[in-house]
Each structure stands twice: as C-alpha cells, then as structure tokens.
C-alpha cells in the first residue's frame, strides 16, 4: 500500500501507518507530520486532509 499524501505529490512511498481520523495510508514522514498537527494546542482532523480535498482515500 502506498502513502496517500505522497501519491498526491506524484511520489511513491510505502505506507507504514493508517490515519486514525480518516483511514488514509501514510509513510513515515507523513505519519510524523500528522502526529504533530495541532491548531492552538488542540488536534483538529488530519494534517493531510486539505491536500487531497476531503481527506478520504479513494
């Protein structure tokens, strides 16, 4: 399975995790990015959600 966010950037990297919010497959880099995503100290949704539109894998 390939990383959803990398696929949006026309790259191919193997996924190592699944987003707990939307179920998208994520590589090591994008998993770390999603883990650190905060708005005003609170977690809201996905770090990769706006990159692909609705944040769901199709």
Q: Give the number of other CB atoms < 10 A from CB of residue 44.
A: 11
DSSP secondary structure string for all residues of 1-58: -B-HHHHHTT---B--EE-TTT--EE-HHHHHHHHT--BTTB--S-SSHHHHSSS---
Global pTM reads 0.64
Residues 1-58 have pLDDT tens digits of 999 989 999 999 999 998 877 889 999 988 877 766 666 666 666 766 654 444 444 4
pLDDT of residue 32: 75
pLDDT of residue 12: 95
| All structural domains of the chain with their residue ranges | 4-43
């Amino acid at each position: 399975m390939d990383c959803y966010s990398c696929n949006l950037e026309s790259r191919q990297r193997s996924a190592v995790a699944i987003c707990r919010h939307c179920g998208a497959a994520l590589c090591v880099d994008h998993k770390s990015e999603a883990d650190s995503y905060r708005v005003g100290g609170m977690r809201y949704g996905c770090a990769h959600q706006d990159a692909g539109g609705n944040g769901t894998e199709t």
